[in-house]
Amino acid sequence: MKYSLCIGAYKGKDVVYHLEKIKEHGFQGLEYYSWWDLDIKQVAKEQDRIGVGIIATCTKFFNLVDESKRLEYIDGIKQTIEACKILGTKSIITQTGNVINGMSREIQQQAMVETLKQSASLCEEAGIILEVEPLNGLVDHRGHFLQYSDEAVSVIDQVNSQNVKLVFDVYHQQITEGNVIRNATNYIDRISHYHIADNPGRKQPGTGELNYINILNAIKETGYDGYVGLECGYTIDTDEALDVFKQTILKNVETLSV
């Protein structure tokens, strides 16, 4: 498996600083969400120099459940694909938007499926994966439409494209439904990317109730070789926290070369 950090891991530091730190720690990529804030051609040059790059970003507009927003969503996907081509980024993360009150869940889900189908053809042509991310509605994202693993998988199956898959965020799914290892492994063929953080608090793995040695080993045993992103805050200095993560968790999952 490969490991990525998310922008903000080093507070107040820019994308180049993060990339250099990722290289230093022996990780493999950076998730940078607001690509439109970057001079992407300059960042592409820095990626080449450092030897690691942005492996995932977000689309510009989040609303899959409102059919009237479809053209705006598709336009955002098109712009993001063009940015990804320059950066060499192969994954685009999207959320779904909030529930529309007064409209049936079935209608909203069907709007999401249709918008994703139209996005899928664009992503297939570009060789990019569009990753749909369920979020918890209990603590962090009240009203978010897509929260549960089974519904997320149902949506992906209806879209029926190898270029539309899921981000499985262990933190969010622990809050929403628990049963993390079973869902994180049973749905492996629909999952493109994992996010990890501990619960409660969304801090680095090892600070809460989740057994990340068991979780990561279970994912590894499926044969998964994609990215696991540390999308978390840190209770101590980031460099120290990452060293602890490597020595107390990753050494029990991976053969470390750093």
Q: Whose structure tokens read 């664009």? A: 122
Average pLDDT over residues 71-96: 98
Q: How many whole angstroms separate alpha carbon 13 and alpha carbon 194? A: 24
2-252 belongs to which CATH class? alpha beta
Average pLDDT, the chain: 97
User: In which band, very low, low, confident or very high, does the pLDDT at 256 lie, cut at 50, 70 and 90?
Assistant: low
Does residue 257 have a pLDDT over 70?
Answer: no
User: In which band, very low, low, confident or very high, does the pLDDT at 8 lie, cut at 50, 70 and 90?
Assistant: very high
Report the share of the chain in percent with pLDDT over 90.
Answer: 98
Task: Please give the DSSP secondary-structure letter assigned to residue 179.
Answer: -
pLDDT in tens, 223-239: 999 999 999 999 999 99
- Domain residue spans in the chain? 2-252
User: Which CA distances in Å does 129 have to 13, 21, 120, 148, 164?
Assistant: 28, 26, 8, 21, 6
Question: Tokens in use for 33?
Answer: 């969400």
Average pLDDT over residues 17-22: 98
Task: Tell me the catalytic residues.
Answer: 133, 231
Question: Tokens in use for 74?
Answer: 């598709």
Residue 100 CB burial class (10 angstroms; 0-12, 13-18, ≥19):
middle
Question: Tokens in use for 216?
Answer: 């990561």
Q: What is the pLDDT of residue 258?
A: 43
Q: What is the pTM of this model?
A: 0.96
Listed in sequence order, the residues at least 6 apart from 6 whose beta carbon sits closer than 8 Å to its beta carbon are 30, 31, 32, 33, 229, 230, 231, 232
User: In which band, very low, low, confident or very high, does the pLDDT at 205 lie, cut at 50, 70 and 90?
Assistant: very high
